[in-house]
Structure 1
Amino acid sequence: MREFDYRRADDVSGAVALLRADPDARYLGGGTNLVDLMKNGVERPARLVDVRALPLDRIEPADGGLRIGATVTNGDLAAHPGVRRDYPALAQAVLAGASGQLRNMATVGGNLLQRTRCGYFTDVTRPCNKRAPGSGCPAVEGEHHNHAVLGASDHCVAVHPSDMGVALTAFDAVVSYETADGPGDLPLADFYLPVGDTPHRETALPPGALITHVTLPPAPVAARSRYRKVRERASYAFAIGSVAAALDVSGGVVREARLALGAVASRPWRARAAERVLNGAPATAEYFAAAADAELAAARPLPDNGYKVTLMRNLVVAVLSELAEEAAR
């Protein structure tokens, strides 16, 4: 591990100034991803700016929705009564994400910024366009059974590992940040950049930006929502496929649907094509399957991850069917 300087920020402007003074610095929240990457040489910051003491650790009502501070722990987020009541899929996603110990350390801001768990990315002896631009993507021809089937490119086929991000994407969350030039906001739909030929550029955050909070707008449909995660072992594993879904059904017809997919792309994937099929359609397994097919028509699987297309189709139908059955009771 590279030797590094450590500073604890006292306020948001001070944290931003410390990072601006050193382009090799990184913000430190819970450190559950960053410190691991430092240990294996992927990240080599010259300075860590600890932001855990900043006043960004509250969850508050905001214009009918919720305002979640960037240093709120994943554990506190999942346990919050307002989250559990109004956005249950978000609480379920966070609880599915890691062990209790990790949830009590990891922060909301850090969760959104976590890097891929692709083995080629975390192995500094191997090429990786995300880690070393232009070096190649060995996963395309190598180990890729848990890699992307949507939105990938020849330059990178890794998937984003966040469970929380999938639910936040379904509910149109907005990320707020602070820079030396002032504050800004990014809808989560625009937060992650497409892979294209620059997979090392992961987010649209300006250089040196500090995430300050995430806002969930009011969404009555979110109160009837669910997150379902499929993984290769029962506990503490990253998803091979996941769905965050919300459904408003009246008289057997879908009035509103929200759908986001996880572990299928380099970012949490909002299933807009599926939503267009669902809205105004009968709430039946036939239409749920048609919606899944409309979204997955763009899938471009590799030789060893084609199973994800069938998996995600079945997962979408199962979760939507469960929500529709609950609405009919």
Structure 2
Amino acid sequence: MPATSAPHRSPWRRARRWAALLLAVAAVLAVAAVAWLRSPLPLRLPAGAAVIDVQLQPGMSARQIGQALADAGVALPAWWLVGWLRLSGQAHQLKAGAYEIAPGTTPTMLLDKLVRGEQALRRVTLVEGWTVRDVVRALRHAEHLRDDLPPGDDPVRLAQHLGLAAGHAEGRFFPDTYLYPKGSSASELLRQAARAMDERLAQAWAQRAPDLPLRSAQEALILASLIEKETGHEPDRALIAGVFVNRLRLGMRLQTDPSVIYGLGEAFDGNLRRRDLLTDTPYNTYTRAGLPPTPIAMPGWASLLAAVQPARTPALYFVARGDGTSAFSRTLDEHNQAVRRYQLQP
């Protein structure tokens, strides 16, 4: 009697069964992923972590983003995160950048953060009256700001590095508070500050008085830097500008101590002496007529505006009173009396 053969099983039938099984698994995962996406429960982050950082590069796929999140410390497999991103329907709306994920962040909160591009920002303030040396020092101490500046703080070398048309970086950055994503470069922040100064200088120059003895916006910037270093008292700025403008019209030397100090550089020990006033440098406005060759510091908006809209005053002299304000004089005799009163009194 012939042996009975085993029933024939079609390979298509097996394939259909596997396909059905895979679809069922995919459906379960999809439901789980959607449930997780809408879950109010926070993400699980490494124990003790205050925040975790994740960097999303431009053009990243959902797979790469999911892997980046897993690598950063989100306690879920990368494949799960990839599925979640795809099922959210927003995988192509995520913004590149540097992000922080804090404890308590839910999946929905994280997705919203990435879609809105809410990067982890830090701030640094550039202060009116600072020099390039001050600016470079501040940026090198700024939190999570990448130092890609050339060694030292030479204004010419820095201008070349940043591509500044002026060729000299002193006074070319607008003093303000700047926000930057974690991991940004110091060079890009300074280029932003330089663009801000170009814009504000152009705004001020467009409002200049018609009879100024200034030939260019660059000269207005230089004058503004002198005003910035001479006073922090708002009402005195336009008057000091008026004194400088009067002197420029008459061909008198400006004789402003801050420019002399700038020219001395590291040789200045904090005490300006008579011999310093007689030591010739390109910035010594006691030995040279006209404006110094470059700004000597960063002027703020008030000083820029004062430089192009000086007060109409007969004064040719001023001296600090010691309380932040200045005394203004028309003649040298009046000025000498003011000096004796405010500077030479015991």
For the superposition of Structure 1 and Structure 2, which TM-score range results when normalised by the shorter chain? under 0.3
Instruction: Give me the TM-score of the superposition, normalised by structure 2.
Output: 0.23
Instruction: Give me the TM-score of the superposition, normalised by structure 1.
Output: 0.24
Q: Greater strand percent: which structure?
A: 1
Which structure's CA Rg is the greater one? 2
Higher relative CO (CA 8 A, sep ≥ 6), structure 1 or 2? 1
